[in-house]
Chain A
Amino acid sequence: DAGVTQSPTHLIKTRGQQVTLRCSPKSGHDTVSWYQQALGQGPQFIFQYYEEEERQRGNFPDRFSGHQFPNYSSELNVNALLLGDSALYLCASDGYQETQYFGPGTRLLVL
């Protein structure tokens, strides 16, 4: 049973560029959430997708956008990258009893 997968594992971009991160949820899960984890901090909720729609959103600017595909996989897009966007981006899918299962993350470095 495959868990949550994410790609790429690492990424280096420069300020002002755009980036797309990808996630496939755990088998049988239909809801995907994205989190940003800055160095030395806990993960912060960005947004959640269900039935190809954004269902909830955290306190992140519109530069952060997403998409969910019919096979439940998801993308996170970040436009006009800032140095402060450097972080580990985690994808999670929803399981039983309000439990979220996390992927290994994509480490983004913005120079």
Chain B
Amino acid sequence: GNSVTQMEGPVTLSEEAFLTINCTYTATGYPSLFWYVQYPGEGLQLLLKATKADDKGSNKGFEATYRKETTSFHLEKGSVQVSDSAVYFCALSDRGAGGFKTIFGAGTRLFVKA
């Protein structure tokens, strides 16, 4: 079945450091790809998405490119802030039975130190 694998955390960075969180996927067809963020004690917020190969999703300084040849969707940010501390989930849309559901990776916790 379809699945998502993302790098294990926690990832600890200093403020203004460069961030990369690796994500690879296994899927039949061409799913949409997503990054969601979960702040402590909260639900999931959509961070960015890409719907087809070579699309780049971006939001709040974060970006990720849909790479079909490497089945990857790595999350990057050039300069992280303390407020970026959260858990980040890579995900894909999985179609079936007339609808779709979202399949998530295990999540990567990011700590940013001042």
Contacts and interface: CB of A to CB of B under 8 A. Distances in A.
Interface range, B side: 20 to 34
B99 A48 contact: yes
B51 A97 contact: yes
Interface string B59-101: 0000000000000000000000000000001010101111111
Given A55-B98, A56-B101, A97-B32, A102 B107 contact: no
A6 B100 CA distance: 21
A101 B47 CA distance: 11
For the residues of B in contact with A, the DSSP-based class is strand
B89 A42 contact: yes
A18 B82 CA distance: 41
Q: Is the interface of A mostly helix, strand, loop or mixed?
A: strand
Interface in B34-63: 34, 36, 42-46, 49, 51
B7 interface: no
Nearest to A98: B93
Interface range for A:
20 to 34
A101 B102 contact: no
A53 to B, nearest CB: 10
A6 B98 CA distance: 25
Nearest to B51: A97
B111 interface: no
Contact of A33 (B42, B46, B101, B107): B101
A104 B98 CA distance: 26
A99 to B, nearest CB: 6
B6 to A, nearest CB: 9
A55 B97 CA distance: 7
5 contacts: A41-B107, A42-B106, A44-B104, A55-B99, A98-B31
Interface of B: 31-32, 34, 36, 42-46, 49, 51, 89, 91, 93, 95-107
What are the 4 A-B residue pairs with the smallest beta carbon separation, nearest first? A42-B104, A98-B93, A104-B43, A102-B44
Interface of A: 6, 31, 33, 35, 40-45, 48, 50, 55-56, 58, 88, 90, 92, 94, 97-105
